[in-house]
Amino acid sequence: MIDRIKKIVFGGEREREVVELIGKQIELIIDTCELMKSIIERSDEAVVGDVCEAEKLGDAIRRDIILKIHSGAFIPALRSEFCNLVEELDEILDELEDLAMLYLLIDLIPDELRDEFVRIAEINSKMAYLLLDAFNALEEGGLSDVLLKIKIFEEQVDSMKGRIYEKLKVIDFSNYAEWYFFIKFVEKLINVSDLIEDASDTIQVLSVSIR
């Protein structure tokens, strides 16, 4: 019975097009998280432009998906949840672009924080891969295991947040602007994991709705 419902939900041409585009949107998030990891790990400012280009491509994909959904893809009861997911994925790309731009505004990452920042960037990247697994699990099954892994990673980032803010207390910033941009950078780096978890929650809602 469940397989038959999934075939009805995902089996149409427009539905398959939307599913493929959402998959591309998540793959773009994966690529951008990897770019962001390179920026933080290697101080690779050269790829900041690639992050911005990825965000523009993500915007184009989002518009295409929304248009297809409002043109009749999926049953009405599911359209709003698919639109919510697409907007949440776009928000992740927006946050990653902001993060890359902020990197250009901070002088450097202090040595005492670099390891934590690299670790969070690695976790964000792993969570992005799991997000694609979660979306694929709508059809293939095994969603609960993937969601649990995402939750565990998000909690790891949460546990690191307190240590980072404690270390920030003793870092001497030369002026208010330097402090402000650095704090915003930290906030957005941490927030990527929250946004990925939010998108995975919407995938869980979709899974329940499909049943």
| Ranges of H-type helices in the chain | 2-10, 13-42, 48-70, 76-105, 111-140, 143-168, 176-210
Identify the pLDDT of residue 91.
98
Residue 5 clears pLDDT 50, i.e. is over it: no
Q: How far apart are CA 57 and CA 60, in angstroms?
A: 5
pLDDT digits (tens, 9 = 90+) for 80-131: 999 999 999 999 999 999 999 999 999 788 889 999 999 999 999 999 999 9
Mean pLDDT of the chain: 92
CA atoms within 13 A on the CB side of 44: 14
Residue 1 clears pLDDT 60, i.e. is over it: no
The answer to whether the CB of 37 falls within 8 A of the CB of 125 is yes
pLDDT digits (tens, 9 = 90+) for 167-201: 998 888 889 999 999 999 999 999 999 999 999 99
Identify the pLDDT of residue 44.
85
Q: How far apart are CA 13 and CA 39, in angstroms?
A: 39
Whole-structure pTM value: 0.93
**Strand, helix or coil for residue 91:** helix
* Pick from 117, 199, 123: nearest CA to 154: 123
Cα 184 to chain centroid distance, Å, stands at 17
Residue 6 clears pLDDT 60, i.e. is over it: no
169: phi then psi, degrees, rounded to nearest 5: -60, -30
Domain residue limits at 77: 2-210
Tokens 């902001």 correspond to 98
If one counts the domains in the chain, the total is 1
Identify the pLDDT of residue 4.
41
Domain CATH code at residue 192:
1.20.58.220
